Chains A and B, each alone.
Chain A
Amino acid sequence: MKLTVNGAVHEVESPPLTTLLAVLREELRITSPKAGCEQGGCGACTVLVAGEARRACLLPLAALDGAEVTTVEGLGTPEQLGRVQEAFLERYAAQCGYCTSGMMMAAEALLRSNPSPSRDEIQTALGGHVCRCTGYVKIIEAVEAAAGGAR
């Protein structure tokens, strides 16, 4: 099975019904996607698959042969953060950080398809993501800021 993650092609060996989340974290040691509820309800494991935001905990490896996956590690580098990473940093949109990767991937997917989303559209796009620390306001403001930067 071939899996392209953040532009690098990997030959993966996990059993076919292993979730993408487990493949990323345990076989490839890419740990930005978090294991939260592991049943699709919290959004912490969200990654991009072919550019679409998807829950890595719900995707079996068998359905992903040849797929292109993007995680937070693929959004930027420590020296050159991506627009969403930069905005989350500037706007204090992370506290404990557990939900942050998923939030950022959802925001990235939104901005790729809709470069100037309204506040309502941002709230809808992040609707499946749970944060237990910040109360969401700073996260939404960060996505607005990232969109502003993209304009």
Chain B
Amino acid sequence: MASEVLLPTSPDQAIAAFGDGAGVTVVGGGTILMPAITYGRLQPEKRLLLLDRSGLSGVTRGDGAVRIGAATPVSELEAGDEPLASVARTVADPEIRGQATVGGNVCATASAGVPRGDLQAPLLALGARVRSAGPQGQPSEPLEDFLASNRAGRLLLEIVYDDVERRAGHASVHRPHAHHYSILSTCATRSGGETRVAVAGAGPVAVRATSVEQALAAGEPAEIAAHKVLDDVDPSDDALASAWYRKRVLPTIVARALARLEKEDA
């Protein structure tokens, strides 16, 4: 069990307490980690940081950007920008959303093969960047690089995306139960003539569907471009769905998200 449980009361305190992250367990809202701690599946080694009072919470808009603190409750996104708001409303139930944090969702690894980061796809579609703290200072990098990297030793501080006019579309397959993460979720955005497409549920973390984006940029119809998504992902079997099912359904929901984007465009 952790020898120290700390409640930093400022971002600087949180960064100092995190240090190089060795042996440190970070708890945002606790909706994922607390059951694991209670049942003994997770035994924090040295130090456990609770971010409740860290000042890393809140959504601010200014200087052309939207900034979301890592400890912001998911519920605060529900009335915000699309497609993030629509996806946030599909996470668990209102009570869990009031407690679970954006940072916890973005950093969530797959559990028993089930991908859990439902908010990763809309944030990728929004072109989000993340700022994190660790031994390398406080680098800012695209979310896709952060998700693809070894995130151990890094404390997520905030998520930032451009505050611009954009179209958005979202389609997902999920079951409305607090224990179910989305089986598949697809988000698309368009701004300045560029379309971004991202998929969650078809791998350990969400990814951009660059093959779909390239096909759209080359002028392919959305229905045809949507099928290219299978070049970008390699889904596996888990308790929610088989890889076969995901491969069958994914092009359809990508097409559906793109159709919603077009509908908004009209």
Contact = CB atoms under 8 A, between A and B. Distances in A.
A60 B50 contact: yes
Contacts of B94: 53, 124-125, 127-128
- Per DSSP, chain B at the interface is loop
Contact of B95 (A15, A19, A22, A106): A106
A17 B38 CA distance: 8
A17 B48 contact: yes
A102 B99 CA distance: 16
Interface string A94-129: 000000000000100000000000000000110111
Contacts of A39: 35, 179
A127 B176 contact: yes
A26 B38 CA distance: 14
Contacts of B142: none
Contact of A57 (B38, B50, B98, B177): B38
Given A41-B178, A46-B95, A58 B7 contact: no
A16 B5 contact: yes
A38 B177 CA distance: 15
A33 interface: no
A17 B37 contact: yes
Contacts of A55: 31, 95-96, 99
B179 A60 contact: no
Most buried by B among A46, A52, A106, A125: A52
B5 A62 contact: yes
Q: How large is the interface on A (under 10, 10 to 19, 20 to 34, 35 or more residues)?
A: 20 to 34
B1 interface: yes
A53 B95 contact: yes
B35 A53 contact: no
A40 interface: yes
A122 to B, nearest CB: 11
Contacts of A15: 1
Interface in A110-151: 124-125, 127-129
A14 to B, nearest CB: 12
Contacts of A128: 92-96, 178
A38 B176 contact: no
Contacts of B127: none
A38 B99 contact: no
B50 A43 contact: no
B2 interface: yes
A63 B50 contact: yes
A58 B35 contact: yes
A63 B98 contact: no
B49 to A, nearest CB: 10
A59 interface: yes
Contacts of B178: 40-43, 128
Given A55-B99, A58-B29, 8 more contacts: A15-B1, A17-B48, A46-B95, A58-B30, A58-B35, A62-B50, A124-B94, A128-B178
8 tightest A-B contacts by CB? Answer: A128-B93, A39-B35, A16-B5, A41-B179, A127-B93, A41-B178, A63-B52, A58-B34
14 contacts: A17-B1, A17-B5, A17-B48, A19-B34, A41-B177, A46-B95, A55-B96, A55-B99, A58-B34, A58-B35, A60-B37, A62-B7, A63-B7, A106-B95
